[in-house]
Every structure is written in C-alpha cells, then in structure tokens.
Structure 1
C-alpha cells in the first residue's frame, strides 16, 4: 500500500513537469514582449585640440604655352581733329632782305644781290639770285631800284618761274628810284627773282644799298 502511494505521487509530479514545459514553450511562441522606455543620451565629449599645420604641397605642373593669336583688323579712322595753334619756336619761317652794292648787271638775267642783310631759312641764294620756295604759302615781295644815268631809262622786272609778275621803271633824272610790290602764292620749289629788262650797268652803285630786294612768308598754306 505504501509503495503504490509513492508511485502515484511520482506520476503526478512528472505530469506537472511535462505540462509546465509545454506551457512555457507555447508562451514563448505566441506572447509579444512590451518594449521598455529609451535610455537617456549620454553627455557630449569635449572638443579636441586643433592639429598642427600641414607642410606646403609641391608646385603644380606648368601649363603648355599657346601660340600668339593673329592681330585683329585695324579699326576705322577717327575724325580729324581741329588744327592746334602753332608754337612760336616751331612755326615755319622764311624772310630775306638783300642789297646791291658794287656789282653790275650787264646781262638780262637774275640780279645777284651781293649784300645779304637778312636770310631767315637761307631760301635766297646770292650765287644764283633766286629765292627758292621751301614752304608753300602766300608771300610778299618788294624791290627798289635806283638809276645812276639820267640819259638811260631803267626797268626792273619781278619774275616768278620765268614769267614777269610786275615791274618798275625809271625814266627821269640821275638818282631816280622806283619800287614795286607783289603778293604771290607759291608752291614748293617755285623761284622768284628780279632782273633788268635789258642789258645795262645803269644801276646806282653805293655802299648805302639803294637797290634792294625783299620777301617774306605771310602765311603757310
């Protein structure tokens, strides 16, 4: 009787053990766990010290130099500006006064005045008797002649490139003088001179220079 009671108790214990295991296996497969509250964030760490400056890097490769491009077409010419005033030191000048003292004019040709009083620009030549224009423009020319013989008429012509422009005539007494003046437009290399109308030696010879020839540039063209 005692043995049977022990066996029965053992059977009960085993049954409870198997039921408990089955229940635990079923719960683990069907039950869902409730999530817990999130944890508090930790404190941020301290900022680190800056690092040391790095060394300079090596230079880059030099690029290839390209060829120079062609020059562009020239621009249009701008309008001509107004003419500025001429400065005194660069203004073109031409002026002369020459005199006849002891030479005689016994041929029809340029009178070679031997006494140079003024010759600005050296445009008058005593060797040829010509005034040679080097500055195109408008000029003023004048001459004065004086005769020494009352019995001979004396005429002096003002010439330009071989053409008589004007003349002076003396027909009176000994010592009579005559003069004339002309304003001429000249181009470069034009020549102006005086000459007797006929071969004569009737001009008054004197150191006082009674016979003269003058000219000057009025304005350049």
Structure 2
C-alpha cells in the first residue's frame, strides 16, 4: 500500500507544478531506505600511552624514594670453586733471614734390663722393665718391643745371665732375624748375641724365647737388651 501511495504522489506533483509554478514548496519527501556501509577508513594515529596498573587493576603511582638499608642477611652457601688463574710473574728475591742454629741429627738408643726373676713366657716378646737409657721412649716396657721412629741401620745386642739352657730369637715384626742358643748344665753363665739390621719406620724389633727360656733378672746378674742407630736413611 505504501508503494501505491508513492506512485500517486509522483503522478500528482507534476500536474500541480504545471498548473501554477508560483505555488508554495511541497512537503518533504519520505526518508529513503538506509544505504550500504561505506569503505573502511585509514588507520588513525597512535594514541598516548595509558596509565600503568597493578595486578588488582589499580593505577600505579610514581616511584618513591629509596628506603633505609635493611639488616644484614645470613651468609649464603659457598659457590663452586673457580678455575685456577694464570701463574703470576716471579717476585723479587726476599731479604736474607737471620742466621739459624744447626740442626740436631736424629738419634735413637735404648738399654733395658729384665727386672724380674720370673722366666719369660714362650712365644711372646721378653719384657725388659728396668730402664737405663730410652731416648724418646722408643722402647716400650709394656710390650717389650722397640718401635722404629728413625728409619735406618741399627745394631741390637743382648747379654743374658743364665743357669740353664736358653734360646732366643731376634724378631723384626713377624720375621725372625736370627736365633741364638746356649746350653749349659746347671752352671751360671753369661751369653750374648748381636745383629746389625735395617729397620723401616714403624717396624718393631724384640726378643722372643723358645721352649729353652731360662732367662732371669736379679741384682747379681742382669739380662740386658740394647739397641742404637748406626746411620739414618
């Protein structure tokens, strides 16, 4: 119906204008249908940066002044060792030192006696408990062993007062160095034996009796074991 009305108006208006050109302007026409969208325009200029906001959406304020220093924290764990640096240049020779005293050569010597009338046990070190000389306590009166503190060549010797048969073994740790035997028939005698031997640091030297162990100590006749360093390594 709207289209028919538009058609009648289009026919009537020219006739009216032809009859009298001095008539007043007609009524505004009905608005037309909406046109199509125009083409996209050119991109606009970049705007000013916006205000920064924190995680809660609040505006970020300006940076404040630095606060006071806090307390010293605990020491952290040590880091891995760094690589060795390059060798530095050789320094200048130092001034000569003050004259020193001559060094004292290492010494070792002991001389001990059997301090009991009891016969020593078979297969164990003879314990000489009466001390005449014992430098640096190298001979142990409790164990009956001399322990080497200064490696080198030593001389060991024993003198035993006996009234019967006696056989002694001179031992270096678990190794037998020599065996000395003297057989007497109920007569008081003195027997002896000695040996020069190289001893390493920490090794033990001692006398060990066999089944013939008639070895006693008393004021009328001591049994003595001695040793001393001939030459250090």
On whether the aligned pair clears a TM of 0.5, the verdict is yes
Question: Which one of 133, 137, 149 corresponds to residue 118 of structure 1?
Answer: 133
The answer for the alignment partner of 1:105 in structure 2 is: 120
The aligned runs of 1:132-143 (5 Å cut-off) are 132-143=147-158
Judge conservation of contact 2:157–2:194 (CA < 8 Å) in 1: yes
- Aligned pairs for 1:1-221 (under 5 A) are 72-73=87-88, 87=102, 90-102=104-116, 103-149=118-164, 153-173=165-185, 174-198=187-211, 200=213, 202-221=214-233
Distance 1:74 1:166 in 2: 59
Please, which runs of 5 or more residues in structure 2 have no aligned partner? 1-84, 91-100
Stretches (4+) displaced over 3 A: 70-75
CA contact (8 A) 1:142 1:213 kept: yes
Structure with larger Rg: 1
- Deviation string 1:32-87 (CA, Å, 9 cap, x unpaired) is xxxxxxxxxxxxxxxxxxxxxxxxxxxxxxxxxxxxxx763577xxxxxxxxxx94
C-alpha distance in 1, partners of 2:211/2:88? 66
Give the Cα separation in 1 of the matches to 2:89 and 2:108: 40
- Of Structure 1 and Structure 2, which has the larger fraction of its residues in helix? 1
Task: Provide the rounded CA distance (Å) in 2 between the counterparts of 1:185 and 1:141.
Answer: 11
Q: Report the RMSD for the aligned CA atoms in angstroms.
A: 2.2
Q: CA deviation at 1:208?
A: 4.2
Tell me if the contact between 2:167 and 2:212 (Cα under 8 Å) persists in the aligned partners: no
Structure 1 residue runs of 5 or longer lacking an equivalent are: 1-69, 76-85
The answer as to whether partners of 1:130 and 1:191 remain within 8 angstroms in 2 is: yes
Q: Deviations over 1:103-137 (max 9, x none)?
A: 43033210000101100121000000010001111
- State the SS of the aligned residue for 1:204: coil
